[in-house]
Structure 1
Amino acid sequence: MSRRFRGMRVRPLTALQAAAAVAVAVRLARGRTRLPPLSAAPETPLSETRTEAAGAGEISVVIPARDEEHRIGACLTAVLADPDVAEVIVVDDGSSDGTARLAAELGAKVVTGAPLPPGWVGKQWALRQGVEAARGDVVVTLDADTRPAPGLAGAAARALERYDLLTVGPRFVCDGTAEQALHASFLATLVYRFGPIGPAAPPAPHRTVANGQCTAFRRTAMLETDGFARIRGHMTDDVALARSLAAAGWRVGFLEAGGLLEVDMHESAAEVWREWGRSLPLRDVTSPGWQAADLAVVWLTAALPVIRLAAGRPTRLDLALLAVRLLLTGALRGSYARPGPGVLLSPLLDPLTALRLTQATLRPVRTWRGRTYPDAATGAGTASATGTGTGTDSGTATGARETTTAGEVTTESGPPARPGRSAAR
């Protein structure tokens, strides 16, 4: 069917594609005013200054780990050598390999994780225990597959003068052409849906994004709000935490930090397809309406132009969108430690990426590292932040309650949960 619009016959699909193209253009335009990347101070290490103006104090690094013996060594070696870091805590979350032994041999403090309580996802439970065990004013959490450069922890601590919760974007290590191509295609969908990292104006809480591979916050404030209990049942833990705390009034930042952090997430294209494709739809933290809108944007502006080009029937709008995608491809090269032909080939995989996101949205997987978790919508992640039966003695919960309404993270609380400027002190 078609309709008249200012004397032209416009098909509904073309109208929808044009609307999606406008949405993508608006999001990409935010890149012109985005905030500068996180960078290390060139002068005195933070450990020698400890100024309140920097929002600093001792820094504890917490690394949750489950069967990470083959990956955690490089991360620990790097962070243990950082002069800004006062202690490194590895929370061994029931590993069946030599993760705990290796961490202890390298010099980290190993916390043996308590049994996983009902309703909790393993990472959130491990992080909560690590934060409780930390002694630093500032906590920086890292995944075991990260490769931090000297100065990352200090730079993150200084950024807490502007933010209450900070996450950063790394450079990715993808060695194979197929792995890099698929990874870059997935990464492009995030930009199309949310815009570039480091927006000058913070997004609405329900559209906030984050990267849990590296997170920084003040320990006292996180314990007081019991942040990880708020999102205990969410598989997309990083975005769930950011959205929950942003809704509670926290200043949440997401900055580029490729010069200070690299991440080797996956070992093959098959693993990228299986694992990253599983989490990128953000299904458990996004309402059905926004899920549908995000998928429509990906299909109409990224996948459809490639399909039509392959069929030899691209429209002028398709060609314009392909040109935009090629420009984004050039910009994404900076997101990789060793960009190769895979990044340039990534637009060809956009239809497959759209298919994977659709599949993961319709048939979500809640299995991770040998554990299968109940669907968050059935009650996981919706219990009160107090009375969790965790066996801890922190006594820090404030009575805030996290619920899942229409798939989105919301927060109900008594007193405002935003931390004060003296929270770290």
Structure 2
Amino acid sequence: MSHRVLVPRPVEPAVEAPDACRRRLPGPAAWLAAVTALMLASVLVLNGLTNASVAADQLAAEPEGVATVPESVLQGGPILSDGPDGLVSRRLPDRTIALTFDDGPDPRWTPEVLAVLRKHGVPGTFFVVGSAAARHPELLIAIREQGSALGVHTFTHPDLTTVTPLRAAIELGDTQLIINGAVGESTALLRPPYSSSPRAIDDPHYGSLLETTEVGYTTVLTDYDSEDWRHPGVEAIVAHSTPPNGRGGTVLMHDAGGDRSETVAALDRLIPLLKDRGYRFTTPTEAVGLPAPDQPVSTGPYLMGRGLMVAVGIAGVLVSSLTWMLLVVGGLVLLRLLVMMVVAGRHRAQRAAHRWAWGAPVTEPVSVVVPAYNEKENIAATVRSLVASDHPVEVVVVDDGSSDDTAEIAAGLGLPEVRVVRQPNGGKPAALNNGIAHARHRLIVMIDGDTVFERDTVRRLVQPFADPAVGAVSGNAKVATTGSGRRGLIASWQHIEYVIGFNVDRRVYDLFRCMPTIPGAVGAFRRDALLAVGGVSDDTLAEDTDLTMAVCRAGWRVVYEESARAWTEAPATLGQLWRQRYRWSYGTMQSMWKHRRAVLSRGASGRFGRLGLVQLALFQILLPLLAPLVDVFLVYGLLFLDPLLTAGAWSAMLGLQLLGAVYAFHLERERLRVLWLLPLQQIVYRQLMYAVLVRSTVTAAAGIRLRWQKLRRVGGLHELLDAADVPALAGRST
């Protein structure tokens, strides 16, 4: 029998990654990641602060046991400013009203309040919350154009008696900056959140008042609370806002914080009522003869205020975009769950049917190619499992220039079915092509040197070749959790990933006839299919994915045989896992780009492109890239939104993933007990995979070509053979 010899192109040698390559991120990339994360955190915090809910202000009860507050303040008026001898208290004259509005501006209600004030020709004083003003600076302009005054009500509405002096200064300063940038003015008026009448001032509030007046603020407290925050009805609001016996004073109302229709209606009745009684309406400072609170600002404060408003606007746009992305994540999770349950379930039902068969039993001998580079820990177990197959095999071990005893160990087993081929170090694709060239049979199985087969794996793996349209078959790769170094969290996480993310997906790809990857651990090919695509290419780091895509595009059918199980050594440390998944992820992107024209092709190639490549893009790239938004918004929601609602939404998303995991484990007939680790996997493992994908995306975008990297083997697969005979491995579960 003559065969075409596949000669691989020279490639860079597969060597142990040097220390410089073992860093998860190089210096510039690490800085870029850190800066990006910091910027995202800053955007979320800024948006959270500017969208935090604000509680309505109201009059507080008079405190008991006030010790140091001067009687002149307690019994004085609501206007407090700094004087030569300390805090000076001033009252409004009789029949003088200062209408004040807290907690705005609000795009719904502030314009309606301004319309009523304009209708009756009276001013108001609006104590604005900086976070709301930053979102609606146009309302500050409207307030000033109407003839009303602006005052500071802090940026996020905290109780100034409970925050540090630095936080208080930031709260006032940021709000002042927003006013600077919006109207080009500063204001000297301040109403502290949760403040009340002068009679309610206690020691902490008095100390806070002293601090704010020392830096130039005039504090405006309240004489009469309209109690509009209670929504008591228009009549009650008017009654609460009407001073008795012709007295003057400040009236507390709200132009934000909920439905203010009663406030607007009451205001429209209150103003003409009090005018008929001889009242005049003015601002607090004008009423007591103080200078106007609004003063023009210089270019510096104005530009700083504009910059803060721009930052708030950008934060809002970005968070809105992230919110839409989060909806995309939810949609993709639901879509994947639906596809998994419907399509994968149908695949299992189809293959489980008693009448299912690929055709007449395939009994012809098989060549098994084992590329090996420094696999001394596992090569003996791998070869012994192969020769114990219940199907006739020849085993071709290709030693790819190992620096250890891999070749000697394989040859020293003394097994007649095993041939050892030595070659200079040229990489895995070169080793596979060399093995294919030395294989005697037309059906070729490829297996990694860190994998063991069950006794019936080869036989089950080649049965689909009874269908002449089948050009390649994917087996069922499983994580070997027996052996030193593989019992633990990392192995369990990978076990979950293999069951949910790899094997169940292959059921879907099989039914759609668009299989993108046959794992290097367990796959079989017709020699004709391999020759048709030119053998194993070294164009990408994911030679198995590249080869599978090429076979699909050549018109061959690629299928999944779930019963052909192989047990492979998984990375034992996070560093090894990072390097392996980095290579996989980057190599998959390379393969997708290489075969991108399949999307526009016709026939089998087009089917693969429009189904296989699109599914890969959605579920293997887009979804993992966006999935961490779920955790980001969990933190965001706990800090700035309703914690219970946020926790519930996150739990619902986790519940969907758990449901999918349970179903996947059911399909694979796996024990469910390991799934208690799923929540932790979502928090920790998923973030690692996200970082891998981001790094791979950056690398691909930069056009960097990486070398194939060899992982350090722990060994111990022999324990799978020593614990029981190879035939007994059939039916064993992890």
TM-score, normalising length from structure 1?
0.69
1:232 to 538, 549, 566: 538
Matches for 1:35-114 after TM superposition, within 5 Å: 35-36=347-348, 53-106=360-413, 107=415, 108-113=418-423
Alignment of 1:403-414 (within 5 A): none
Partner of 2:629: 304
SS of 1:283's equivalent? helix
* Equivalent-residue separation in structure 2 for 1:354 and 1:277 (angstroms): 10
CA distance in 2, matches of 1:65, 1:110: 10
2:657 alignment counterpart: 325
- Between the aligned partners of 1:358 and 1:335, the Cα distance in structure 2 is 33
Of 352, 357, 367, the residue aligned with 2:693 is: 357
Q: Give the conservation status (yes or no) of the 8 Å contact 2:510–2:558.
A: no
Once residues 280 and 189 of structure 1 are traced to their aligned partners in structure 2, the CA distance between those partners, rounded to angstroms, is 17
Q: Which residue of 1 aligns with 2:547?
A: 241
CA contact under 8 A between 1:236 and 1:279: conserved in structure 2?
yes
State which of 321, 336, 339 in structure 2 corresponds to 1:30. Answer: 339
Tell me, yes or no, if structure 1 residue 157 matches structure 2 residue 462. Answer: yes
Larger radius of gyration: 2
Provide the C-alpha distance between the structure 2 equivalents of 1:188 and 1:220, rounded to a whole number of angstroms: 31
What are the residue-to-residue correspondences of 1:141-290 with 2, within 5 Å? 141-162=446-467, 163-174=470-481, 175-180=486-491, 182-183=493-494, 190=501, 196-199=505-508, 202-203=511-512, 208-228=516-536, 231-257=537-563, 260-281=565-586, 282-287=588-593
- Residue type at the aligned position of 1:19: V
CA distance in 2, matches of 1:56, 1:63: 21
Deviation per CA, 1:259-297, whole angstroms, max 9, x where unpaired? Answer: 732111222232112222431352211249978755432
Deviation per CA, 1:96-128, whole angstroms, max 9, x where unpaired? 111111111222210112563xxxxx1111111
* Matched residue type, 1:178: L
How many pairs were matched up? 342
Shift of 1:161: 2.4
Whether the 8 Å contact between 2:631 and 2:683 is mirrored in structure 1 is: yes
CA distance in 1, matches of 2:681, 2:425: 42
1:414 equivalent in structure 2: none
Give CA deviations for 1:130-182 in whole Å, capped at 9, x if unaligned.
11111123111111111100111111111222421111232212434331355
Q: Identify if the C-alpha distance between structure 1 residues 299 and 189 changes in structure 2 by more than 3 Å, giving closer, same or farther.
A: farther
Shift of residue 336, structure 1, vs aligned partner: 7.6
**Contact kept? 1:167, 1:253, Cα under 8 Å:** yes
TM-aligned CA distance change 1:299 to 1:354, over 3 Å? same
Cα distance, 1:236 vs structure 2: 0.6
What secondary structure sits across from 1:227 in the alignment? coil
2 CA distance for matches of 1:298 and 1:335? 26
Query: Unpaired segments of 5 or more residues in structure 1?
Result: 2-9, 40-50, 117-121, 372-425
Instruction: Note if contact 1:58-1:138 (Cα within 8 Å) is conserved in structure 2.
Output: yes
Structure 1 CA distance for aligned equivalents of residues 579 and 657 of structure 2: 24
- What whole-Å deviation, never above 9, does each CA across 1:28-73 have from its counterpart, x for those lacking one? 323333334999xxxxxxxxxxx98334411111100011111111
Secondary structure, aligned partner of 1:252:
strand
CA distance in 2, matches of 1:223, 1:38: 31
Q: 1:13 maps to which residue?
A: 322
Higher relative contact order (CA 8 A, sep 6+): 1
Distance (Å, rounded) in 2 between the aligned partners of 1:208 and 1:79: 26
The amino acid of 1:354's aligned partner reads: Y
Distance in 2 separating the partners of 1:360 and 1:153: 34
Give 1:326's aligned amino acid: L
Larger proportion of helix? 2
Tell me what 2:681 maps to. Answer: 346
Query: Taking structure 2 as the reference length, what is the TM-score of the superposition?
Result: 0.42
Root mean square deviation, CA, Å: 3.7
> Which is further off, 145-154 or 307-316?
307-316
Distance 1:226 1:268 in 2: 36
Which whole-Å CA distance do the structure 1 matches of 2:694 and 2:552 have between them? 27
The change in CA–CA distance for 1:203 and 1:284 in structure 2 (over 3 A counts) is farther
Letter in 2 for 1:242: T
How far apart, CA to CA, are the structure 1 residues paired with 2:447 and 2:569?
13
- Determine helix, strand or coil for the equivalent of 1:95: coil
Q: Which runs of 5+ in 2 are unaligned?
A: 1-46, 48-318, 352-357, 597-612, 712-734
8 Å CA contact 1:62–1:139 kept in 2: the answer is yes
Task: Supply the AA of the counterpart residue of 2:422.
Answer: T
Give the CA deviation at 1:358: 0.7
Q: Contact 1:89–1:109 at 8 Å: present in 2 too?
A: yes
